[in-house]
Amino acid sequence: MSSSPSPNGASFSSPPSSSPNDESFFTPSTGTNPTTPTTATTTINTPVDEDPSPFSSPEAQISWPPDGNLTLNWVLDLMSKFDWASRNLPPAEFPTVLPVQVFDRLVLTASKILHKEPNLVRVDLDVDDERGKDCRVVVVGDVHGQLHDVLFLLRSAGFPCENRFFVFNGDYVDRGAWGLETFMLLLAWKVFMPKRVFLLRGNHESKYCTSVYGFEQEVVTKYGDRGKHVYRKCLGCFEGLPLASIIAGRVYTAHGGLFRSIPVTPSKRSKGKKNRRINSNPEVSTLSLGSLEELSKARRSVLDPPWEGLNLIPGDVLWSDPSMSPGLSPNTERGIGLLWGPDCTEEFLKRYQLKVVSLMFQLIIRSHEGPDAREKRIGLAGMDEGYTVDHIVESGRLITLFSAPDYPQFQATAERYKNKGAYIILEPPNFDNPTFNSFEAVTPRPKANPYYDFQDVIDSDEELDLTAMVSEP
């Protein structure tokens, strides 16, 4: 066992680095089955990108299965063709790989599944069952259109299967050049294995962010006169993405993190009325943590979560950040969401360690902050390894997970951040002891042009132009 430094300064035991063989990205993998201590870190040597051997001719169009049922080979073929196209076709020829008709069927099928899921999805694992004892949960952070790193991550961790669950923490698009391919690929996995793959929403799955950070322009460039149609369908799908997950009753995951309570005050009962109206009153001087019940009732079907008004919880869940200062306070750096301190992490974990509600939270996994954002955060560790342990409290830990290595793809800084990405594996019996798997970017990346002005646009979503965001009551 070697020892490697963790992002928060501690020293963890870690197994020797492993290196994937030179097989195609699309050969099914058994993944990693770590036997390391609870905070072990595995550094994976990422291979140089090579042309895969596609399952069918790479020039052939993807067609929708006649019976409408996706298979493993169909999804792997999709992965293969997307990878091939990213290196061999100009963006405007992407419809020769994924025709609009197939796009429509995939998005419609996925949207129907997603819109039926609750705001707070439960990833239930029965460890008392013999099959449950072999289950693993892979948690993935921001990927931001970095298709080739996502392909590597899936092969490294092992593809979704009956005993391997995936929870993706949002931010699939923007900044990277292949946000559309990345999102379509993950939707295909969701359709194929809806009870094993869970896609949560990130702050970039919104109209505002995608209009600023490249995804809208990417879609229009790739689909030409059908681009607006494709973009609108993607936005509709974003609205259906759940906000948070609970894994095995022990782990809470969300893109940004915690959220406020929206107090309600009873109004005076009108004469002759049997029911009493309840008026929300978000304008309170003291902020307090919200409950899972409030989260479950929030209206998530808004393209741009409001920063004011009655429906603040979705914005908090997607935009908030941890802090080393105690308490809850407005997130003035971003202009939306909250900052919360270690005391709030402790309060949230402790509140849901009651057996009467079948929850024993010991871990919060959130994402939302890459190396560009973290270099400005006082008291919090950088994102060099793809994750940080931000709060260690009596009841558990708060972790930030970021899965886009060498981020952002297009950097205006003199020196690249060269951060690693990471994913987490949670194992039985309690699924609350994370194994961190760090990996470097696949190199070389195919040549691509940015779809946004990366030299002038703000790197870490700060100082949002709130007037450009549509506030919905």
Residue 106: which H helix or E strand, with range? helix 100-116
Burial of 64 (0-12, 13-18, 19+ CB in 10 A): middle
Long-range contacts of 326-335 (CB under 8 A, 24+ apart): 327/287, 328/260, 328/287, 328/288, 328/289, 329/287, 330/287, 333/376, 333/462, 333/463, 334/461, 334/462, 334/463, 334/464, 335/307, 335/462, 335/463, 335/464, 335/466
Closest to 430 in 3D by CA, of 135, 156, 158? 135
SS3 376: coil
Q: Which of 144, 204, 255, 391 is catalytic?
A: 204
Copy the structure tokens of residue 134: 């072999």
368 tagged catalytic = no
In the chain, what is the straight-line distance between the N-terminal and C-terminal CA atoms, in Å?
Answer: 55
Amino acid at 274: K
The dihedral through the CA atoms of 46, 461, 473, 339 has a sign that is positive
Distance CA 104, CA 387 (A): 35
Distance CA 142, CA 384 (A): 14
Please give the DSSP secondary-structure letter assigned to residue 358: T
Is beta strand 251-254 parallel, antiparallel or unpaired with respect to 244-247? antiparallel
DSSP codes of every residue in 127-181: TTSTGGGG-EEEEE-B-TT-HHHHHHHHHHH---BTTEEEEE-S--SSSSTTHHH
Say if CB 262 and CB 210 are below 8 A apart: no
Distance CA 354, CA 373 (A): 35
Active site residues: 204
